[in-house]
């Protein structure tokens, strides 16, 4: 039997497929429900985690990163770290419940989100176990590493948004009209954070999308390289709209996306070569 063939003994009838699909959906739903109940029991710690961007300062994070890389010293970088810490300040904002049900709906929504997140390994395993019998051994060798790579970039983008982008946006919003009191609706606050984490998680899949386009032959490495200038302009325009107007905040978003674009070119090059591209 060829190495990339499907084992005939693994074939099932339509009803058997339907029954297996049903059982795996039930297992996934039970797992999500279980972790939702666990999350409901830890509502306060989860709330403190999601409030973290209000207390975080990007300046403190950058200063800590400089200390890790360069070490505390009397150099320019040491002075920069001290300056960043001195200018750090948390966002002075109060979260409010603007309707009788906003606290309950937010509590349930956050618990559902964290429950789904905690249950995701089991759910993803159920998906993988369902489709695995239909894959050839060659496809399994490709898809399994690709699956973990996609997860890595998604969670990398979400963490970058949570620890870098969200504090910057909150700080800018709080200081935009300093004479006004920052009373924010708790439901909109959590919705904003969750949407931003999801958006950055998807945006950080850029190298994977570029590699896929190269693999199917839609565009080659030379095409990506020729459009590098337009891509860079587009990234800076997008960053200018999504971040405060100061250059530092814009660079926090633009630089990672530019680096991801270059990484996407490298991935595209790796996938082109077996298909005979130059």
Q: Is residue 123 domain-resident?
A: yes
Q: Which residues lie closer than 8 Å to 108 by C-beta, 6 or more apart?
A: none
Q: How many structural domains compose the chain?
A: 1
Q: Could you identify the residue written with the tokens 């931003």?
A: 196
> What pLDDT, on the 0 to 100 scale, is given for residue 276?
47
> What pLDDT, on the 0 to 100 scale, is given for residue 14?
74
Q: Is residue 126 domain-resident?
A: yes
Distance CA 231, CA 226 (A): 10
Q: Is residue 268 domain-resident?
A: no
Q: Which residues lie closer than 8 Å to 116 by C-beta, 6 or more apart?
A: 32, 35, 36, 123
Question: Got the DSSP string for 93-143?
Answer: -EEE--STTHHHHHHHHHHHHHHHHHHHHHHHHHHHHHHGGGS-HHHHHHH
> What pLDDT, on the 0 to 100 scale, is given for residue 62?
59
Per-residue pLDDT of the chain in tens (278 residues, 90 and over written 9) = 444 544 544 566 778 878 888 999 999 999 999 998 888 888 778 878 888 777 665 555 555 655 555 665 555 555 555 555 544 555 667 788 888 888 888 888 888 888 888 888 888 888 888 888 777 787 777 777 888 888 899 889 888 888 877 877 777 777 677 777 878 888 888 888 888 888 888 888 888 888 888 877 888 888 888 888 898 998 888 777 765 555 656 777 788 889 999 998 988 888 775 554 44
Q: Is residue 194 domain-resident?
A: yes
Structural domain span for residue 83: 12-204
Q: Which residues lie closer than 8 Å to 79 by C-beta, 6 or more apart?
A: none
Q: Is residue 71 domain-resident?
A: yes
Of 134, 130, 127, residue with least CA distance to 7: 134
Q: Which residues lie closer than 8 Å to 185 by C-beta, 6 or more apart?
A: 95, 96, 97, 98, 102
> HSE (CB half, 13 Å, CA atoms) of 240?
6
> What pLDDT, on the 0 to 100 scale, is given for residue 125?
86
> What pLDDT, on the 0 to 100 scale, is given for residue 249?
60
* Lookup: tokens for 122: 């089991």
Q: Is residue 256 domain-resident?
A: no
> What pLDDT, on the 0 to 100 scale, is given for residue 29?
92
* Lookup: tokens for 95: 């979260």
Q: Could you identify the residue written with the tokens 């298909």?
A: 275
pTM of the model as a whole: 0.71
């Amino acid at each position: 039997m060829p190495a990339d063939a499907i084992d005939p003994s693994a074939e099932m009838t339509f009803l058997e497929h339907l029954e297996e699909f049903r059982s795996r959906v039930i297992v996934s739903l039970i797992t999500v429900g279980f972790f939702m109940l666990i999350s409901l029991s830890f509502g306060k710690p989860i709330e403190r985690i999601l409030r973290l961007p209000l207390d975080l300062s990007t300046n403190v994070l950058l200063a800590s990163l400089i200390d890790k890389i360069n070490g505390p010293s009397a150099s320019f970088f040491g002075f920069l770290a001290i300056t960043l810490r001195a200018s750090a300040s948390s966002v002075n904002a109060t979260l409010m419940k603007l309707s009788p049900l906003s606290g309950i709906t937010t509590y349930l929504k956050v618990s559902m989100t964290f429950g789904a997140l905690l249950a995701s390994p089991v759910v993803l395993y159920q998906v993988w176990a369902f489709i695995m019998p239909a894959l050839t051994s060659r496809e399994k060798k490709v898809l399994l590493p690709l699956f973990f790579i996609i997860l890595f970039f998604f969670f990398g983008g979400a963490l970058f948004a949570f620890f870098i982008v969200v504090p910057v946006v909150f700080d800018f919003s709080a200081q935009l009209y300093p004479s006004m009191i920052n009373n924010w609706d708790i439901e909109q606050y959590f919705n904003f954070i969750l949407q931003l984490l999801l958006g950055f998680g998807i945006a950080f899949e850029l190298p994977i999308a570029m590699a896929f386009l190269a693999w199917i032959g839609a565009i080659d490495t030379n095409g990506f390289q020729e459009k590098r200038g337009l891509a860079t302009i587009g990234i800076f325009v997008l960053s200018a709209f999504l971040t405060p107007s100061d250059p530092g905040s814009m660079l926090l978003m633009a630089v990672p996306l530019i680096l991801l674009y270059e990484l996407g070119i490298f991935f595209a090059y790796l996938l082109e070569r077996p298909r005979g591209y130059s």
